[in-house]
Protein backbone atom coordinates (compact mmCIF):
# COMPACT_ATOMS: atom_id res chain seq x y z
CA UNK A 1 0.00 0.00 0.00
CA UNK A 2 2.87 2.33 0.82
CA UNK A 3 4.52 1.60 -2.52
CA UNK A 4 1.26 2.32 -4.38
CA UNK A 5 0.77 5.66 -2.60
CA UNK A 6 4.32 6.76 -3.36
CA UNK A 7 3.98 5.82 -7.03
CA UNK A 8 0.73 7.77 -7.32
CA UNK A 9 2.35 10.85 -5.79
CA UNK A 10 5.50 10.61 -7.93
CA UNK A 11 3.59 10.14 -11.18
CA UNK A 12 1.17 12.96 -10.40
CA UNK A 13 3.99 15.39 -9.66
CA UNK A 14 5.91 14.44 -12.81
CA UNK A 15 3.03 14.97 -15.24
CA UNK A 16 1.47 17.98 -13.51
CA UNK A 17 1.64 21.42 -15.04
CA UNK A 18 0.39 20.78 -18.59
CA UNK A 19 -1.84 23.56 -19.90
CA UNK A 20 -5.08 23.42 -21.86
CA UNK A 21 -4.98 27.15 -22.66
CA UNK A 22 -4.93 28.05 -26.37
CA UNK A 23 -1.61 29.11 -27.86
CA UNK A 24 -1.33 32.90 -27.94
CA UNK A 25 -1.11 34.67 -31.28
CA UNK A 26 -1.08 38.46 -31.53
CA UNK A 27 -4.01 39.71 -33.64
CA UNK A 28 -3.19 41.13 -37.04
CA UNK A 29 -2.65 44.87 -37.25
CA UNK A 30 -5.94 46.55 -38.13
CA UNK A 31 -4.41 49.95 -38.94
CA UNK A 32 -2.56 51.34 -41.94
CA UNK A 33 1.10 50.25 -42.08
CA UNK A 34 2.44 53.82 -41.94
CA UNK A 35 1.35 57.42 -41.51
CA UNK A 36 1.85 58.48 -45.12
CA UNK A 37 -0.99 56.21 -46.26
CA UNK A 38 -3.52 58.52 -44.62
CA UNK A 39 -1.59 61.79 -44.60
CA UNK A 40 -1.62 61.87 -48.40
CA UNK A 41 2.09 62.59 -48.73
CA UNK A 42 5.41 60.94 -48.09
CA UNK A 43 7.03 61.16 -44.70
CA UNK A 44 9.78 63.83 -44.68
CA UNK A 45 13.36 62.60 -44.81
CA UNK A 46 14.07 64.02 -41.35
CA UNK A 47 11.40 61.66 -39.99
CA UNK A 48 13.11 58.71 -41.67
CA UNK A 49 16.46 59.55 -40.13
CA UNK A 50 15.05 60.84 -36.85
CA UNK A 51 16.82 60.54 -33.53
CA UNK A 52 15.11 57.38 -32.33
CA UNK A 53 11.51 57.35 -31.12
CA UNK A 54 9.42 59.50 -28.81
CA UNK A 55 9.43 56.66 -26.27
CA UNK A 56 13.20 57.05 -25.98
CA UNK A 57 13.07 60.76 -25.08
CA UNK A 58 12.91 61.42 -21.30
CA UNK A 59 10.24 63.91 -20.30
CA UNK A 60 12.91 66.07 -18.64
CA UNK A 61 14.53 66.40 -22.06
CA UNK A 62 11.31 66.97 -23.96
CA UNK A 63 10.04 69.68 -21.60
CA UNK A 64 12.87 72.21 -21.60
CA UNK A 65 11.33 74.87 -19.34
CA UNK A 66 12.44 74.65 -15.71
CA UNK A 67 9.08 75.96 -14.54
CA UNK A 68 7.29 73.30 -16.57
CA UNK A 69 9.61 70.58 -15.27
CA UNK A 70 8.80 71.63 -11.70
CA UNK A 71 5.07 71.41 -12.40
CA UNK A 72 5.37 67.91 -13.89
CA UNK A 73 7.66 66.67 -11.12
CA UNK A 74 5.19 67.94 -8.50
CA UNK A 75 2.26 66.26 -10.26
CA UNK A 76 4.09 62.93 -10.46
CA UNK A 77 4.77 63.11 -6.73
CA UNK A 78 1.31 64.16 -5.51
CA UNK A 79 -1.41 63.39 -8.03
CA UNK A 80 -4.07 61.17 -6.46
CA UNK A 81 -5.02 59.36 -9.67
CA UNK A 82 -1.44 58.19 -10.09
CA UNK A 83 -1.22 57.15 -6.44
CA UNK A 84 -4.44 55.14 -6.85
CA UNK A 85 -3.00 53.45 -9.94
CA UNK A 86 0.15 52.50 -8.02
CA UNK A 87 -1.96 50.96 -5.26
CA UNK A 88 -3.97 49.03 -7.83
CA UNK A 89 -0.73 47.57 -9.19
CA UNK A 90 0.28 46.47 -5.69
CA UNK A 91 -3.12 44.87 -5.17
CA UNK A 92 -3.03 42.87 -8.40
CA UNK A 93 0.54 41.83 -7.63
CA UNK A 94 -0.62 40.47 -4.27
CA UNK A 95 -3.45 38.57 -5.98
CA UNK A 96 -0.95 37.09 -8.43
CA UNK A 97 1.30 35.98 -5.58
CA UNK A 98 -1.70 34.25 -3.99
CA UNK A 99 -2.45 32.31 -7.19
CA UNK A 100 1.20 31.43 -7.70
CA UNK A 101 1.48 30.12 -4.13
CA UNK A 102 -1.17 27.49 -4.93
CA UNK A 103 1.39 25.67 -7.05
CA UNK A 104 3.22 24.75 -3.84
CA UNK A 105 1.79 22.66 -0.99
CA UNK A 106 0.79 24.23 2.33
CA UNK A 107 2.69 22.89 5.33
CA UNK A 108 1.40 23.46 8.85
CA UNK A 109 3.22 22.74 12.09
CA UNK A 110 0.82 21.40 14.71
CA UNK A 111 0.84 19.79 18.13
CA UNK A 112 -1.93 18.21 20.19
CA UNK A 113 -2.52 16.42 23.45
CA UNK A 114 -5.36 14.10 24.39
CA UNK A 115 -6.28 12.84 27.88
CA UNK A 116 -9.12 10.37 28.40
CA UNK A 117 -10.37 8.58 31.54
CA UNK A 118 -13.20 6.15 32.23
CA UNK A 119 -15.35 5.82 35.40
CA UNK A 120 -13.03 3.13 36.79
CA UNK A 121 -10.05 5.50 36.89
CA UNK A 122 -8.27 4.12 33.86
CA UNK A 123 -6.68 6.92 31.82
CA UNK A 124 -5.06 7.19 28.40
CA UNK A 125 -2.75 9.98 27.24
CA UNK A 126 -1.68 10.66 23.66
CA UNK A 127 0.55 13.45 22.38
CA UNK A 128 1.34 14.34 18.76
CA UNK A 129 3.57 16.90 17.02
CA UNK A 130 4.71 17.32 13.43
CA UNK A 131 4.03 18.75 9.96
CA UNK A 132 0.75 18.41 8.09
CA UNK A 133 -0.20 19.02 4.45
CA UNK A 134 -3.97 19.61 4.71
CA UNK A 135 -4.76 19.80 0.98
CA UNK A 136 -2.60 20.08 -2.12
CA UNK A 137 -4.12 19.93 -5.58
CA UNK A 138 -1.76 18.40 -8.11
CA UNK A 139 -2.08 20.60 -11.18
CA UNK A 140 -2.53 17.64 -13.52
CA UNK A 141 -4.34 19.56 -16.27
CA UNK A 142 -2.90 23.03 -15.63
CA UNK A 143 -5.97 24.56 -13.98
CA UNK A 144 -3.97 26.32 -11.26
CA UNK A 145 -1.26 27.30 -13.73
CA UNK A 146 -3.86 28.83 -16.03
CA UNK A 147 -5.39 30.80 -13.16
CA UNK A 148 -1.88 31.91 -12.22
CA UNK A 149 -1.30 33.09 -15.79
CA UNK A 150 -4.58 35.01 -15.62
CA UNK A 151 -3.50 36.73 -12.40
CA UNK A 152 -0.05 37.48 -13.83
CA UNK A 153 -1.41 39.06 -17.01
CA UNK A 154 -3.95 41.08 -15.04
CA UNK A 155 -1.11 42.34 -12.87
CA UNK A 156 0.95 43.26 -15.94
CA UNK A 157 -2.07 44.94 -17.57
CA UNK A 158 -2.64 46.97 -14.40
CA UNK A 159 0.99 48.04 -14.38
CA UNK A 160 0.67 49.16 -18.01
CA UNK A 161 -2.43 51.12 -17.00
CA UNK A 162 -0.31 52.87 -14.38
CA UNK A 163 2.23 53.76 -17.07
CA UNK A 164 -0.54 55.05 -19.32
CA UNK A 165 -1.87 57.22 -16.48
CA UNK A 166 1.65 58.54 -15.91
CA UNK A 167 1.98 59.57 -19.56
CA UNK A 168 -1.46 61.21 -19.53
CA UNK A 169 -0.69 63.01 -16.27
CA UNK A 170 2.52 64.48 -17.69
CA UNK A 171 0.63 65.80 -20.72
CA UNK A 172 -2.26 67.04 -18.55
CA UNK A 173 0.10 68.94 -16.23
CA UNK A 174 1.94 70.47 -19.20
CA UNK A 175 -1.28 71.56 -20.90
CA UNK A 176 -2.63 73.05 -17.66
CA UNK A 177 0.55 75.08 -17.28
CA UNK A 178 0.43 76.20 -20.94
CA UNK A 179 -3.22 77.24 -20.60
CA UNK A 180 -2.46 79.25 -17.47
CA UNK A 181 0.54 80.93 -19.10
CA UNK A 182 -1.53 81.73 -22.20
CA UNK A 183 -4.34 83.32 -20.18
CA UNK A 184 -1.85 85.23 -18.02
CA UNK A 185 -0.31 86.66 -21.18
CA UNK A 186 -3.74 87.62 -22.52
CA UNK A 187 -4.69 89.13 -19.16
CA UNK A 188 -1.56 91.25 -19.16
CA UNK A 189 -2.36 92.41 -22.68
CA UNK A 190 -5.96 93.18 -21.63
CA UNK A 191 -4.73 95.27 -18.71
CA UNK A 192 -2.41 97.21 -21.01
CA UNK A 193 -5.28 97.70 -23.45
CA UNK A 194 -7.48 98.93 -20.60
CA UNK A 195 -4.89 101.54 -19.59
CA UNK A 196 -4.45 102.68 -23.20
CA UNK A 197 -8.17 103.01 -23.80
CA UNK A 198 -8.58 104.83 -20.49
CA UNK A 199 -6.03 107.39 -21.70
CA UNK A 200 -7.74 107.58 -25.11
CA UNK A 201 -11.11 108.16 -23.47
CA UNK A 202 -9.70 110.99 -21.37
CA UNK A 203 -8.18 112.64 -24.46
CA UNK A 204 -11.43 112.32 -26.42
CA UNK A 205 -13.39 113.65 -23.45
CA UNK A 206 -11.06 116.63 -23.22
CA UNK A 207 -11.48 117.28 -26.94
CA UNK A 208 -15.22 117.01 -26.53
CA UNK A 209 -15.16 119.56 -23.71
CA UNK A 210 -13.22 121.89 -26.03
CA UNK A 211 -15.76 121.40 -28.81
CA UNK A 212 -13.39 119.47 -31.08
CA UNK A 213 -14.67 115.90 -30.71
CA UNK A 214 -18.29 114.98 -31.13
CA UNK A 215 -20.54 113.27 -28.62
CA UNK A 216 -20.55 110.22 -30.86
CA UNK A 217 -16.74 110.09 -30.64
CA UNK A 218 -17.00 110.22 -26.86
CA UNK A 219 -19.59 107.40 -26.82
CA UNK A 220 -17.44 105.22 -29.04
CA UNK A 221 -14.38 105.85 -26.85
CA UNK A 222 -16.47 104.84 -23.85
CA UNK A 223 -17.50 101.62 -25.62
CA UNK A 224 -13.86 100.79 -26.30
CA UNK A 225 -12.98 101.47 -22.65
CA UNK A 226 -15.76 99.29 -21.22
CA UNK A 227 -15.00 96.51 -23.71
CA UNK A 228 -11.41 96.45 -22.46
CA UNK A 229 -12.69 96.39 -18.88
CA UNK A 230 -14.93 93.40 -19.65
CA UNK A 231 -12.02 91.55 -21.27
CA UNK A 232 -9.82 92.21 -18.26
CA UNK A 233 -12.45 90.86 -15.87
CA UNK A 234 -13.02 87.83 -18.12
CA UNK A 235 -9.37 86.83 -18.26
CA UNK A 236 -8.96 87.50 -14.54
CA UNK A 237 -11.60 84.84 -13.95
CA UNK A 238 -10.07 82.47 -16.50
CA UNK A 239 -6.65 82.80 -14.88
CA UNK A 240 -8.09 81.87 -11.50
CA UNK A 241 -9.85 78.85 -13.00
CA UNK A 242 -6.58 77.84 -14.67
CA UNK A 243 -4.77 78.08 -11.34
CA UNK A 244 -7.41 75.89 -9.71
CA UNK A 245 -7.04 73.31 -12.48
CA UNK A 246 -3.25 73.31 -12.16
CA UNK A 247 -3.43 72.86 -8.39
CA UNK A 248 -5.81 69.92 -8.85
CA UNK A 249 -3.50 68.24 -11.36
CA UNK A 250 -0.44 68.72 -9.15
CA UNK A 251 -2.32 67.49 -6.08
CA UNK A 252 -1.04 70.32 -3.90
CA UNK A 253 -2.65 72.90 -1.63
CA UNK A 254 -1.60 75.83 -3.78
CA UNK A 255 0.96 77.16 -6.22
CA UNK A 256 3.63 77.82 -3.63
CA UNK A 257 7.05 77.25 -5.15
CA UNK A 258 5.69 77.28 -8.72
CA UNK A 259 7.04 80.06 -10.94
CA UNK A 260 4.39 81.51 -13.22
CA UNK A 261 5.25 83.05 -16.56
CA UNK A 262 3.25 85.67 -18.45
CA UNK A 263 4.68 84.78 -21.85
CA UNK A 264 4.64 81.55 -23.82
CA UNK A 265 8.10 80.38 -24.82
CA UNK A 266 8.43 78.37 -28.03
CA UNK A 267 11.50 76.67 -26.55
CA UNK A 268 9.58 75.39 -23.52
CA UNK A 269 8.80 72.17 -25.41
CA UNK A 270 11.04 70.26 -27.83
CA UNK A 271 10.08 71.12 -31.39
CA UNK A 272 11.27 68.14 -33.43
CA UNK A 273 9.53 64.93 -32.35
CA UNK A 274 10.62 61.70 -34.08
CA UNK A 275 7.56 59.85 -35.31
CA UNK A 276 9.05 56.91 -37.17
CA UNK A 277 7.93 55.34 -40.41
CA UNK A 278 5.88 52.35 -39.34
CA UNK A 279 2.70 52.45 -37.28
CA UNK A 280 4.13 49.51 -35.33
CA UNK A 281 5.70 52.09 -33.00
CA UNK A 282 2.23 52.16 -31.42
CA UNK A 283 2.84 48.67 -30.04
CA UNK A 284 5.11 50.32 -27.46
CA UNK A 285 2.22 52.33 -26.02
CA UNK A 286 1.27 51.13 -22.51
CA UNK A 287 -2.46 51.02 -23.25
CA UNK A 288 -1.88 48.71 -26.22
CA UNK A 289 0.52 46.52 -24.27
CA UNK A 290 -2.05 46.40 -21.46
CA UNK A 291 -4.79 45.39 -23.89
CA UNK A 292 -2.56 42.57 -25.11
CA UNK A 293 -2.01 41.36 -21.55
CA UNK A 294 -5.78 41.36 -21.04
CA UNK A 295 -6.07 39.25 -24.19
CA UNK A 296 -3.54 36.77 -22.79
CA UNK A 297 -5.48 36.65 -19.51
CA UNK A 298 -8.60 35.74 -21.46
CA UNK A 299 -6.70 32.80 -22.96
CA UNK A 300 -5.73 31.68 -19.45
CA UNK A 301 -9.39 31.67 -18.44
CA UNK A 302 -10.12 29.33 -21.35
CA UNK A 303 -7.42 26.96 -20.10
CA UNK A 304 -8.89 26.96 -16.59
CA UNK A 305 -12.41 26.38 -17.98
CA UNK A 306 -11.20 23.44 -20.08
CA UNK A 307 -9.40 21.91 -17.09
CA UNK A 308 -12.68 21.92 -15.16
CA UNK A 309 -13.88 19.05 -17.39
CA UNK A 310 -11.15 16.75 -16.06
CA UNK A 311 -10.57 15.11 -12.67
CA UNK A 312 -8.87 16.94 -9.81
CA UNK A 313 -6.19 15.08 -7.92
CA UNK A 314 -5.33 16.19 -4.40
CA UNK A 315 -2.95 15.01 -1.72
CA UNK A 316 -3.03 15.13 2.06
CA UNK A 317 -0.19 14.06 4.27
CA UNK A 318 1.53 14.30 7.63
CA UNK A 319 4.93 13.71 9.17
CA UNK A 320 5.58 13.77 12.92
CA UNK A 321 5.88 12.06 16.29
CA UNK A 322 3.31 10.39 18.51
CA UNK A 323 3.68 9.18 22.11
CA UNK A 324 1.64 8.42 25.23
CA UNK A 325 4.24 10.29 27.30
CA UNK A 326 4.89 13.95 26.57
CA UNK A 327 8.46 13.64 27.85
CA UNK A 328 9.26 10.84 25.43
CA UNK A 329 7.61 12.47 22.39
CA UNK A 330 10.85 13.25 20.55
CA UNK A 331 13.12 10.77 22.34
CA UNK A 332 13.06 8.01 19.73
CA UNK A 333 12.48 7.56 16.01
CA UNK A 334 10.22 4.70 16.98
CA UNK A 335 7.65 7.40 17.77
CA UNK A 336 7.97 8.90 14.25
CA UNK A 337 5.51 8.24 11.48
CA UNK A 338 4.12 9.56 8.25
CA UNK A 339 1.03 9.29 6.17
CA UNK A 340 -0.16 10.33 2.73
CA UNK A 341 -3.55 10.15 1.11
CA UNK A 342 -4.31 10.91 -2.52
CA UNK A 343 -7.87 11.76 -3.54
CA UNK A 344 -9.60 12.29 -6.85
CA UNK A 345 -12.70 14.26 -7.80
CA UNK A 346 -14.33 13.50 -11.16
CA UNK A 347 -17.04 15.77 -12.60
CA UNK A 348 -20.03 13.67 -13.66
CA UNK A 349 -23.05 15.95 -13.81
CA UNK A 350 -23.17 19.72 -13.21
CA UNK A 351 -26.06 20.84 -15.38
CA UNK A 352 -23.72 21.82 -18.24
CA UNK A 353 -22.19 24.43 -15.96
CA UNK A 354 -18.66 23.70 -17.21
CA UNK A 355 -19.74 23.93 -20.84
CA UNK A 356 -21.36 27.29 -20.19
CA UNK A 357 -18.27 28.58 -18.37
CA UNK A 358 -16.04 27.50 -21.26
CA UNK A 359 -18.33 29.17 -23.76
CA UNK A 360 -18.31 32.38 -21.73
CA UNK A 361 -14.48 32.25 -21.51
CA UNK A 362 -14.22 31.94 -25.30
CA UNK A 363 -16.60 34.89 -25.76
CA UNK A 364 -14.52 36.92 -23.31
CA UNK A 365 -11.46 36.17 -25.44
CA UNK A 366 -13.24 37.45 -28.55
CA UNK A 367 -14.23 40.58 -26.66
CA UNK A 368 -10.60 41.05 -25.60
CA UNK A 369 -9.51 40.78 -29.25
CA UNK A 370 -12.04 43.45 -30.25
CA UNK A 371 -10.90 45.69 -27.39
CA UNK A 372 -7.27 45.25 -28.44
CA UNK A 373 -8.11 46.17 -32.04
CA UNK A 374 -10.18 49.14 -30.87
CA UNK A 375 -7.34 50.39 -28.68
CA UNK A 376 -4.92 50.10 -31.61
CA UNK A 377 -7.25 51.95 -33.97
CA UNK A 378 -7.83 54.73 -31.44
CA UNK A 379 -4.08 55.09 -30.92
CA UNK A 380 -3.54 55.35 -34.68
CA UNK A 381 -6.24 58.03 -34.95
CA UNK A 382 -4.69 60.03 -32.10
CA UNK A 383 -1.30 60.07 -33.80
CA UNK A 384 -2.85 60.86 -37.20
CA UNK A 385 -4.82 63.77 -35.68
CA UNK A 386 -1.72 65.15 -33.97
CA UNK A 387 0.29 64.90 -37.20
CA UNK A 388 -2.48 66.60 -39.18
CA UNK A 389 -2.57 69.45 -36.66
CA UNK A 390 1.22 69.78 -36.71
CA UNK A 391 1.17 70.22 -40.49
CA UNK A 392 -1.13 73.25 -40.33
CA UNK A 393 -0.65 74.90 -36.94
CA UNK A 394 2.83 76.21 -37.75
CA UNK A 395 1.67 77.82 -40.98
CA UNK A 396 -1.48 79.14 -39.33
CA UNK A 397 0.54 80.73 -36.52
CA UNK A 398 2.85 82.45 -39.01
CA UNK A 399 -0.14 83.78 -40.94
CA UNK A 400 -1.72 84.98 -37.70
CA UNK A 401 1.43 86.92 -36.81
CA UNK A 402 1.29 88.63 -40.18
CA UNK A 403 -2.35 89.49 -39.44
CA UNK A 404 -1.33 91.02 -36.11
CA UNK A 405 1.24 93.23 -37.83
CA UNK A 406 -1.33 94.30 -40.44
CA UNK A 407 -3.92 95.03 -37.72
CA UNK A 408 -1.41 97.10 -35.76
CA UNK A 409 -0.56 99.13 -38.87
CA UNK A 410 -4.27 99.67 -39.55
CA UNK A 411 -4.83 100.83 -35.97
CA UNK A 412 -1.90 103.28 -36.09
CA UNK A 413 -3.16 104.67 -39.41
CA UNK A 414 -6.73 105.02 -38.12
CA UNK A 415 -5.51 106.82 -35.00
CA UNK A 416 -3.40 109.16 -37.10
CA UNK A 417 -6.26 109.94 -39.47
CA UNK A 418 -8.58 110.58 -36.51
CA UNK A 419 -6.10 112.96 -34.91
CA UNK A 420 -5.83 114.80 -38.22
CA UNK A 421 -9.63 115.05 -38.40
CA UNK A 422 -9.92 112.92 -41.53
CA UNK A 423 -11.83 109.93 -40.05
CA UNK A 424 -14.28 109.50 -37.18
CA UNK A 425 -13.44 107.64 -34.01
CA UNK A 426 -15.53 104.70 -35.27
CA UNK A 427 -12.68 103.64 -37.57
CA UNK A 428 -10.31 103.76 -34.58
CA UNK A 429 -12.70 101.63 -32.54
CA UNK A 430 -12.95 99.01 -35.30
CA UNK A 431 -9.17 98.93 -35.68
CA UNK A 432 -8.75 98.47 -31.91
CA UNK A 433 -11.16 95.55 -31.87
CA UNK A 434 -9.44 93.88 -34.81
CA UNK A 435 -6.01 94.34 -33.25
CA UNK A 436 -7.03 92.90 -29.88
CA UNK A 437 -8.82 89.95 -31.51
CA UNK A 438 -5.84 89.14 -33.70
CA UNK A 439 -3.45 89.40 -30.73
CA UNK A 440 -5.51 87.07 -28.54
CA UNK A 441 -5.84 84.64 -31.44
CA UNK A 442 -2.06 84.68 -31.87
CA UNK A 443 -1.51 83.82 -28.22
CA UNK A 444 -4.04 81.00 -28.35
CA UNK A 445 -2.55 79.59 -31.56
CA UNK A 446 0.88 79.63 -29.99
CA UNK A 447 -0.54 77.66 -27.05
CA UNK A 448 -2.22 75.22 -29.45
CA UNK A 449 1.05 74.69 -31.30
CA UNK A 450 2.90 73.91 -28.08
CA UNK A 451 0.03 71.72 -26.88
CA UNK A 452 0.17 69.83 -30.18
CA UNK A 453 3.81 68.95 -29.52
CA UNK A 454 2.80 67.69 -26.08
CA UNK A 455 -0.07 65.69 -27.58
CA UNK A 456 2.13 64.09 -30.24
CA UNK A 457 4.71 63.17 -27.60
CA UNK A 458 1.95 61.63 -25.47
CA UNK A 459 0.16 59.62 -28.18
CA UNK A 460 3.48 58.18 -29.36
CA UNK A 461 4.03 56.82 -25.86
CA UNK A 462 6.61 59.33 -24.67
CA UNK A 463 7.05 60.22 -21.02
CA UNK A 464 8.28 57.05 -19.33
CA UNK A 465 11.99 57.19 -20.21
CA UNK A 466 14.27 58.61 -17.52
Look at residue 1 and tell me whether its pLDDT is greater than 60: no
171-181 average pLDDT score: 95
CA angle 35-38-43, nearest 5°?
40
Q: Considering all CA atoms of the chain, what is the largest pairwise distance in Å, rounded to the nearest integer? A: 135
Q: What is the pLDDT of residue 190?
A: 95
Q: pLDDT of 320-346, one tens digit each?
A: 667 666 556 566 666 666 777 777 777
Q: pLDDT of 394-449, one tens digit each?
A: 999 999 999 999 999 999 999 888 888 888 888 888 899 999 999 999 999 999 99
Cβ atoms within 10 Å of 332's Cβ, excluding its own: 10
Look at residue 136 and tell me whether its pLDDT is greater than 50: yes
Look at residue 43 and tell me whether its pLDDT is greater than 80: no
Q: pLDDT of 386-401, one tens digit each?
A: 998 998 999 999 999 9
166 CB-near residues (< 8 Å, 6+ apart): 76, 82, 85, 463, 464
| Per-position DSSP letters for 183-252, written without gaps between them | HHHHHHHHHHHHHHHHHHHHHHHHHHHTTSS-HHHHHHHHHHHHHHHHHHHHHHHHHHHHHHHHHHHHTS
Classified as helix, coil or strand, 277 is coil
| Per-position DSSP letters for 126-190, written without gaps between them | EEEEEEEEEEEEE-TTSHHHHHHHHHHHHHHHHHHHHHHHHHHHHHHHHHHHHHHHHHHHHHHHH
| Per-position DSSP letters for 419-464, written without gaps between them | HTTSS-HHHHHHHHHHHHHHHHHHHHHHHHHHHHHHHHHHHTT-S-
Mean pLDDT of the chain: 84
Q: pLDDT of 8-22, one tens digit each?
A: 445 544 445 567 888
| DSSP letter, residue 20 | -
17-103+141-311+360-459 CATH fold: Outer membrane efflux proteins (OEP) (1.20.1600)
Look at residue 93 and tell me whether its pLDDT is greater than 90: no
According to DSSP, the β-strands at 336-345 and 123-138 are unpaired
Q: pLDDT of 101-125, one tens digit each?
A: 777 777 777 776 676 766 666 777 6
Cβ–Cβ under 8 Å, residues 286 and 163: yes
Q: What is the pLDDT of residue 313?
A: 77
Cβ–Cβ under 8 Å, residues 299 and 24: yes
**What residue segments make up the domains of the chain, in order of their start?**
17-103+141-311+360-459
Nearest to 81 by CA among 177, 166, 159: 166
Amino acid sequence: MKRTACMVVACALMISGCSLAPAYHRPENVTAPDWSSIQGEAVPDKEKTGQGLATDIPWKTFFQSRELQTVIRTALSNNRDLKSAVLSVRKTQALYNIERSKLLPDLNAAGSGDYQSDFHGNSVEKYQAGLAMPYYEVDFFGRIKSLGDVALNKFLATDEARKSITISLIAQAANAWLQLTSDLQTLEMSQESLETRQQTYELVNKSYQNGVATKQDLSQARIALETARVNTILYTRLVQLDKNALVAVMGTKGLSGISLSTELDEKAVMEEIPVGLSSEVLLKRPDIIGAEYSLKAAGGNIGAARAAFYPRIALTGNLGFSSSDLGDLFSSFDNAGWGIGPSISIPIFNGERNKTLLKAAKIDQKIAVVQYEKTLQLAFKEVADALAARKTLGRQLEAQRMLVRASRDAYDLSMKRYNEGIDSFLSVLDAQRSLFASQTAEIDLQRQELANRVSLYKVLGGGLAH
